[in-house]
Each structure stands twice: as structure tokens, then as C-alpha cells.
Amino acid sequence: MSGETITIKGPDGSFSGYLAKPKSGKGPGIVVIQEIFGVNKVMRGLCDWLAGEGYVALCPDLFWRIEPGVDITDQSEAEWKKAFDLFGKFNVDLGVKDIATTIATLRPMTTGTIGAVGYCLGGQLAYLTACHTDADASVGYYGVNIQNRLADAKGITSPLMLHIAGKDEFVPPEAQEAIVKGLHDNPHVTIHRYPEMDHAFARPGGAHYDRKTADEANDRTLKFFARHLG
């Protein structure tokens, strides 16, 4: 499975995205929301994987307002420094606006339904996508800072699944409990907790990658999308 780079035209300007399609050429859509390393090999691989599962997957360059075309790894101190610098400059609400634009761009390429899946920074953005866009289903992996945006949850009207790592170095236990408590009564929200996992347990090649748990979470994600996207 190999994808292509496309241009996404938004109200504030154009930005790129990596698009991967299934062999059939059509299917439900999924917006893949980047980590703090840009649209890199890991994100492109996720799009290719989802295309192999029958989805039209599109990963937008959400750092375009700061620096277009960021494509770095988690393998060096310099890249981590750059990633955190970008994270610090990133405007989450503009990111959600760009995701809404990406959904609108992707929908005509699909059979009609659109999901979103995000990791790390993208995990928070997947949550906010459920709160503020017309995505039909959203999944967030180890999202950071969700506890600071719980008031947004009143906007959730479509299914949302969150994967929470119990030993997440960027989401302390009190933040995890606030998220669970804050979303507990929302019938649209499903939360899975992985008590022994650290941040990014599903990132292949990452320091905390755990294949067994990643496979478990990914299986839940695929079943969730199959159920809600058709």
C-alpha cells in the first residue's frame, strides 16, 4: 500500500496531507491525526495500515502554520527538542479547524462516513474533533491535556473512544482520573485503560512500544470504526 501527498485547501491557506486509499478505491474515511513529530513515517504507516483495512486515510500537516512539512522521528535528542518546540507553538483550536477542513476535503472521496484517530497531541485533537466537528466517530490514543478541555465535552454527539496509558509520563494519574470522571456520564464515550503502559505504547519503534497491548488497542479501534463507520 502506497499513498500520495495531496493539497488541502482551507480558509486560512493550503496545507499538505498524506492520502492512502484501499485497493477498491473507496470506503469510509479516517483522518489520521499526527503526533508532535509531524507527518512522518509512523503516521504514513498508519494511513497505509488503515487503507489495507478498507479505509480512505488522510493525515494532514497540522504544523503547516509554524513550519510546513515537518517529518522527524523520536530517535534523537535534537528531534525531541524540535518536537516539543513545535508543540509549544501549536494552537490546538486552529488545529481542530484544520481537521474540520480535512474532514470536508476527505468526505467526497469516501462512501460518506468519516472517522478520526489521533495519538499523543493527536489524541487530544481526536477528543476535540469529537467535540467540535461532524466526524462520525473518533479515537484518541494517550491524549495529552484532555483534562484541561473537559468543558468541551458537551459538544460530543458521536462515538468517542479513548485509550489511556496508566503510567503515561505526560498524563499524570490525577489527570487521568479527571478525564475518566469528567466523561463518565457521557453515553457517547468509551474509555479503555492500560494500567502498566507508558505514553506511546502503540508507536512502532518507540521506547515504550508494547506490541501485545498495541495490537489489543488497535483491534478495539478497528472494531469501533467497523461498528460506527460501516
Q: Could you confirm whether 199 is annotated as catalytic?
A: yes
β-pair partners for 29: 56, 114
What burial class does residue 9 get, using C-beta atoms within 10 Å of its C-beta: 0-12 exposed, 13-18 middle, 19+ buried?
A: exposed
Q: How far apart are CA 104 and CA 12, in angstroms?
A: 15
Q: Which backbone phi and psi does 176 adopt, to 5 degrees?
A: -60, -45
β-pair partners for 14: 9
Q: Could you confirm whether 168 is annotated as catalytic?
A: yes
Q: How far apart are CA 205 and CA 162, in angstroms?
A: 22
Q: How far apart are CA 220 and CA 122, in angstroms?
A: 18
User: 126 Cβ partners below 8 Å, 6+ apart?
Assistant: 33, 116, 117, 118, 138, 139, 140, 141, 143, 160
* Per annotation, catalytic residue among 74, 168, 198, 210: 168
**Known catalytic residues?**
168, 199
